[in-house]
Every structure is written in structure tokens, then in C-alpha cells.
Chains A and B, each alone.
Chain A
């Protein structure tokens, strides 16, 4: 399984993405990082089909950009940035929406995130972290070879954040997983490959092991050092 992307995108006259290209594979979790406004979310939306970019998005030789939303949904699932749920669906009904056009299993997906027993509760009663897990379940129920996640751990406590990242670590063995991450420490710890965006362009791409503090300094304009500890490497900014 391989996803090849090369896209540009403009909102009206404003170019938000310029020739951003990368490859993602099964077994290698790809994290997209970069400053606010770099175009990370836009890039995911282009791949998910929510925005219509110029260029190409190829999955195992299939050109995703030419597919209808219904056909594309069978290949690509997308976890949006969590907002507040607005309608009083039960967890099961909400996750079922992922399967309307693809026919996946709601039960498997809910069991995977540990919500099968709570399936009849309202999504309105969920905390931020729980809602994020349910959004992930909806994408899993949808199925497909590519899983895109837009800041799946933002606003989550460390426990929920780790829970999500551990799930992604499992999932990358069956799917191509691409996640926009804000938390550099989580990115460093869980990602295999990194794509760094800055001002709508690709700034750097490579395996996590090749990332140096100097690269992050250039991207974010902040001095950082890498500290190696028992659980892995942490990024410490210095003022």
C-alpha cells in the first residue's frame, strides 16, 4: 500500500498549498507537523476530497481525485479536528454514519476504541477525549486503506492522547496512517516519518531519526534541544 500525493490548492487568489508532495506507506506512521497556518489541515482535506486540489493523489495506482465522494470514501477515511457535537445522536448512530456508503462494521470499530458497551449513550454526553475516540471509531467503521487524522490529540489529557497514539500504532500495520500533530513530543515518539510544512510548502521530509533540532529551529523560529530519556526523545524549547 502506498499513497503518493502531489497537490497545490488556492482559496480564491490565495495559494495555500504549493506543490506539496510526499509518499506514505503502510507500516510507517506519517506525522505532518509545522507552524499554525502552514496548510496542514488543508492538505488533509485535499486528500480526503473535502477540498478539490490541483495535482494528483494516487493510492496504489488509483487516482483518488477522479473518484466520486462515494467511491473515494471506500479508500480514504478522515477524522476531522474535533469540534463540539451538535446533534443528539447515540454513539452507535453516529459511528454508523461512517458505514452508510461503505458498509463497514460498527461493532468492530466501537470495540476497537472501547465504546461498544456505551453505544446507546448520546454523543452530547462525551468529554473531548471520548468524542475524539468516537470520531476515530467512525473513520474505522468506514474502513478503507488510508486513515487521515487532523490533530487527533489536541485538547486531550495525556492519558487520552496516549490512548489515541497507541491505537494509531496498531492501525498503521493494516492501513496507511497520516496524522497532523501539534505535539512534537508525540510526533517524535510515535511517528516513523515526518512531513514538515511551512507557508504552504514542503519544508522537510524524512524519517524521525534524521530530524535534528536545527530543522525545528528553522521551522518554528524557536531554539530547541532534544533530550533523551528512558521513554524516548523529548523536544525542549529554550527561550
Chain B
């Protein structure tokens, strides 16, 4: 599986190209490349080197940021999924299922309505709070069993989603737009959001890749202390990283479920559970999946666009049930 990373990177480029290429306005492949090359030149040189390509505005201001945002959000959620699974020692954990995304959405909704300049920050604070609550409720004798994790996560997530829906539907000035956001959508993508998610995912992913040994040991629980890891301290760092990555994703694209579950799971099948290889593979798969899901969301019901959260739930829901069934049969999840 040594060739996996180049394959995933190549796949990433292909789906991102498709993501920019396919849309309601028909383009040729060279339109896409011309505009991107022009945009990069302009950004680097700070001036317009030549005449603008024909569809530059559509490609540079709408499709490209959207595709990049989708990729980065997928990457962040899958990384946050890997980290949650190590934290909870449970391969069924995912920022959405364990209620973190829901919690983050309450913060983001409060931000969107009352403090438009602090959406990400509020989202982060509420995400942190939710990890703490779910972790505390789900813990039984120092372990986090699947059932208590799912129950407390789902219950907390429901509660949080209800609060968010209430805020958005009754108080939001642009209820229909925020509702789209609530269901998960990249339609509001712009370069600023791309930058925010890029910085958050760069930080989070770097941390998780750098700390692969610690993440492996985290899977052993308390006995990890005897191997030299300050387990309590490291858990706190991981919680903050999960909260940052989920919060920024939720703040810029709403609640999108299951990618944090599917990305890591596919990666485990391909490279095994060792975080030395797992984290980056899972992150790239998450990005690829998200761009693909967004492509489906934009095209399946043309000209109407459906929220991408619906697509990921349709892909991820059955997958989640399959995992749960495997777990019930006593097969150890890899």
C-alpha cells in the first residue's frame, strides 16, 4: 500500500477538476485550466497578466472556492473522525454521531444571528463544550462503550440540532438561506471560508500526523501511561483539535455527517489502524468523498441543488448501520 498516497493525491486532483468542470454552465476542460492558471498568476503577481479568460468569474469566484472548501471540510471532518475514534477508543465515533457537530452548530447559529464576526469562535466554544458533555456522560468505569457513546452522542446531537433549528427558523433574518446551511451546503463558499478551513485543517492535520505515536497509544487507554504517554494531558489536546476542526467546518458549511466515519474506515481497510499511515490517508479520502458528494448534490436534482448533508447521510447512514451490525455480530472493528 506504499503507492496509496500518490493514488489518493491523483484522485483528489481528478475529483476537484471534475468539481470545477461540471455545473449548470457548460465549460470545456481548457476553460477550467485557463482560468485557474490566470487566477494563480494574478494572485502571485498581483496584477492581471493578460486578458481574462471567458468564464473566469464563474470558475474563480464560485466553483473553485466551493470545490476547495468541500475538499478541506471533508479533510477536516475525516481527520476529526480519526482523532475522535482514538479519543473514544471506538471506531464508531465521528464528530457528527457523537454530537460535536450539533454542538458546534448551536454556536455557529448564535454567531450568524447575533455576532456575525465571531461565528467560528462561538462554534469552537460550543464544540468543546459538547465533547466534554458527551465524554462525561458516556464514560462508564473509565471506558466509553459503544452503546453509551452512541446514546449520549445522539441525544446530545438531537438536542443541539433542535436548538439550532429553533434559532435559525425563528430568529434568522434569512431563514431559508441559513436553513440550507443547517443541512450542510457549500453554496455559500468564498475565499475567506476556504482560508479559514485551510488554516484549521493545516493545524489539525499537522498535529495529528506529528502525534501518530501518541494516537496509537491512546487506543490502549489508561495503560498508555505506563508506556510513557501523559494520557490525560494528551486527551485534552486532542479534544481541542477535534473541536477546532469540526467547528470551522460547521461554521463554514453546516452540519455534514458521516464523512468522519467513512473516510477513516476506508483508510483502515487500506492501511490498517496505525496512525502513522492512517490519518493522512483518511483525511485525503474524506476530501475526495466530500467533493464527490457535493458534485452529486449539485447535479442530481438539477436545476435544484440539494444540501450536501443529505447526500452524505444517504451514503453514510447505510454504511453506519452496516458497521453497527458488524459490531453486533461480535466481529472486532478494525
Chain A residues within 8 Å of B, Cβ to Cβ:
48-50, 68-70, 72-74, 76-78, 80, 84-90, 93, 97-98, 100-102, 124, 138, 142
CB contacts (< 8 Å) of B231 on chain A: these are 69
| Residue B332 CB within 8 A of the other chain | yes
Contact B219 A87 (CB under 8 A): yes
Q: How far is the CA of A49 from the CA of B232 in the complex (A)?
A: 12
CB contacts (< 8 Å) of B227 on chain A: these are 73, 97-98, 100-101, 138, 142
Q: How far is the CA of A163 from the CA of B75 in the complex (A)?
A: 48
Minimum CB–CB distance for B213 against chain A, Å = 4
Q: How far is the CA of A77 from the CA of B225 in the complex (A)?
A: 10
Q: Which residue of B lies closest to A44 (CB)?
A: B226
Set B223, B228, B268, B332: member contacting A100, Cβ < 8 A: B228
Q: Which residue of B lies closest to A85 (CB)?
A: B332
Minimum CB–CB distance for A96 against chain B, Å = 9
Contact B225 A50 (CB under 8 A): yes
Minimum CB–CB distance for A66 against chain B, Å = 14
Contact A49 B272 (CB under 8 A): no
Interface string of B212-234 (1 = CB under 8 A from A): 01101101101101111111000
Q: How far is the CA of A124 from the CA of B332 in the complex (A)?
A: 8
Given known pairs A93-B274, A97-B220, A100-B217, the reply for A86 and B226 (CB within 8 Å) is no
Contact B273 A87 (CB under 8 A): yes
| Residue B89 CB within 8 A of the other chain | yes
Q: How far is the CA of A72 from the CA of B332 in the complex (A)?
A: 32
Q: How far is the CA of A87 from the CA of B214 in the complex (A)?
A: 15
A-B contact list, 15 entries, CB within 8 Å: A48-B226, A49-B225, A50-B225, A69-B230, A72-B228, A78-B226, A84-B332, A85-B332, A88-B268, A88-B272, A88-B334, A89-B273, A100-B214, A100-B229, A142-B227
Contact A77 B216 (CB under 8 A): no
Q: How far is the CA of A72 from the CA of B231 in the complex (A)?
A: 14
Q: How far is the CA of A72 from the CA of B227 in the complex (A)?
A: 9
Q: How far is the CA of A68 from the CA of B223 in the complex (A)?
A: 15
CB contacts (< 8 Å) of B223 on chain A: these are 50, 78, 80
Q: How far is the CA of A68 from the CA of B332 in the complex (A)?
A: 34
